[in-house]
Chains A and B, each alone.
Chain A
Amino acid sequence: MELGTFGAILKYAMEIEQEVNKFYESAASVAKDQELVDKFKELHKRGEKRLKTLERVRRENVTEMILEPIVGLDSDDYKIETEISETGLIDTALSIEKTLHGFYSEAAIKIEFLIEAMYAFELLAEANERAVGILS
């Protein structure tokens, strides 16, 4: 689905963050290795903050004067897989973080006219990049 408005982008971001949150919560309970459990717990904890950031961005950074149409961003390009399987947890998590990194990096460019929102997206993308490092 084309994400043609600021609200549509934020709604999609919140939906995938919620999905990711659920994934990390389940992954932490399923993983056998304690180090991995701790990592997943940490990433789950991070998720709540990310959702709050997105809610704040949606509330505070919408600028009525320049609500211009956004083109070239499609949610189909950023689908994530959150199925839990004991053996593939790390791979799934890595794929999620890489997808989210791509989504926020691209979305940040699309909303560059809302500079605060763009900055928030860049920070979210950076956090995804760090998560890739932690998981690798």
Chain B
Amino acid sequence: MSSGLEVTILVEVVKNYINGKWVESKAKETRDVFNPATGELIAKTPMSTAEETLEAIAAAKVAYERWRRTPVFTRVRHLNRIRDAFEENFEELSKILTMEQGKAIDEARGEYRRTIENLECATSIPSLQMGYNTEDIAAGIDEMVIKQPIGVFFCVAPFNFPGMVPTWFWPFAIGVGNTYIVKPSEQVPLSQVKQFEIIHELGLPRGVLNMVHGGAEAVNTLIESPDTVGMSFVGSTPVGKLLYKKAGEHGKRAQVQAGAKNFLTIMPDADIERTVPALITSFYGCAGQRCLAGGVLLAVGDIYEPLKEALVEAAKKYSVGNGLEEGIQMGPLASKRGMETVLGYIENGIKEGAELILDGRGIEVPGHPGGYFIGPTIFDKVTRDMTIAKEEIFGPVIPIVQVKDLEEAIDIVHANPYGNASSVFTSSGKIAREYQYRVKAGNIGINIGVVAPIATFPFSGMKDSFFGDLHGQGQDAVDFFTENKVVITRWF
């Protein structure tokens, strides 16, 4: 019987997808792609040149003129076909995702569920793209707003959700009549390659959806080209800020989802039994490599000791291994570099005086000596000024800070430059409402560890976690990808 762990990867140097064709990159430089559970080389990503990036832009520009005239129901029928094909290939897509990114197979399935939900949401575009009008704004004169597509958009995708994140954007972009270029993370290109292989079979008109692999040269070309109109980015704050500025200089629309440090506040009246699994999932899910992952645990008052005890007990039971094995709860870090960064933060925490009460370093996963694994890690006696309490670790580490009350917790949350997500665990509606009302974070959870908005809601963010006005997903995405054109009419 098959173990279910085999996934055949046919690619060596992955190809670009331009104008409906698979194109070998002319790039001399490539980046190695590794299976993070084993450390094995599984593919290479070309650092595409400016010239081939311009080819993709040109193809998307030509396709735009026909595509925007394609009836809206025809456009969304294409999205429906893609949705169905992703459903049919669900297991293979999930396995490829786990193989290149490392996350547990259940998490990969969860990611693809959300990928499909984005496509499902975008099939509502015939409604979501509707404008509005008012009759008789003056005698016999009417005014209306038409939501029109704009041109060629592109996204620069991150390594932590290589299957889902591009679908925060492109289904909405092409659904409203734009054309699109996906620039996958060079670290994890295979999920997008598989998605494009599936899409290729479905007859989407040439040039509507393109893919260019690469790094800075490709991204700079996409931003600087006069033939692109907007960018969606998900990644770190330093890079996001840089690209946001550059996009502005070139007159482009931009939505930039950046870094995070998400504070989870646990009030004394929280239900510990229900809270602990939610915290474990928040801090350790996807090996802590979510922009919505728990970043710091703020234990308020008396709950500190019993919570710490329950958390350590649960964390010790959390299974770590190759994400392709069913039952594994946490896979490896996505890259060796990522693992080294997290190990650096752990060292730093010790050096700055935090108490390491659960040490995930040096964890041994049988049969995977080359994997990038770090086990569940917990720091106690963390203070607000320590590096591990301030910076995004992006790994399976829980820093626990004891605070005296809600005021102190909110003060710590607000002192941090990020504002992606924050949660409070409490049985009190009053406290929950207070938290939701006051805390400056784009995504607020009440007894929720991973505050992940579904496809019909914007994936929000504030402060240094988001630059722009309109977010990915839902109506925000439709508004980002359309121009409101005002028409005022009078008939003689």
The residues of A with any CB-CB pair to B shorter than 8 Å are 1-8, 10-11, 58-60, 62-69, 71
Contact = CB atoms under 8 A, between A and B. Distances in A.
Given A68-B278, A68-B281, A5 B104 contact: yes
A77 to B, nearest CB: 16
A67 B105 CA distance: 11
Nearest to A10: B326
Contact of A66 (B4, B87, B317, B450): B450
Contacts of A59: 87, 90-91, 109, 113
A64 B114 contact: yes
B358 to A, nearest CB: 15
Interface of B: 4, 87, 90-91, 104-107, 109-111, 113-114, 277-278, 280-281, 285, 314, 317-319, 326-329, 448, 450-452
B99 to A, nearest CB: 15
A9 B59 CA distance: 47
A65 B317 CA distance: 20
Given A64-B452, A65-B450, A67-B281, A58 B109 contact: yes
Contacts of B278: 66, 68
29 contacts: A1-B327, A4-B327, A4-B329, A5-B106, A7-B105, A7-B106, A7-B109, A7-B326, A11-B326, A59-B87, A59-B90, A60-B113, A62-B109, A62-B110, A62-B113, A64-B107, A64-B114, A64-B452, A65-B450, A65-B451, A66-B278, A66-B450, A67-B106, A67-B110, A67-B285, A68-B277, A69-B281, A69-B318, A71-B317
Contact of A5 (B87, B90, B317, B327): B327
The 7 A-B pairs with the shortest beta carbon distances in the complex, nearest first, are A64-B110, A8-B327, A68-B277, A7-B106, A11-B326, A62-B109, A7-B326
Contacts of B4: 11
Contacts of A6: 106
A11 B107 CA distance: 15
A2 B328 CA distance: 11
B158 to A, nearest CB: 16
A119 B451 CA distance: 25
Nearest to B318: A69
A94 to B, nearest CB: 27
A1 B314 CA distance: 18
B104 A64 contact: no
A62 B281 contact: no
A62 B106 contact: yes
Contacts of A71: 317
A2 B109 CA distance: 20
A18 B245 CA distance: 57
A22 B344 CA distance: 53
A3 B314 CA distance: 15
Contacts of B106: 5-7, 62, 67
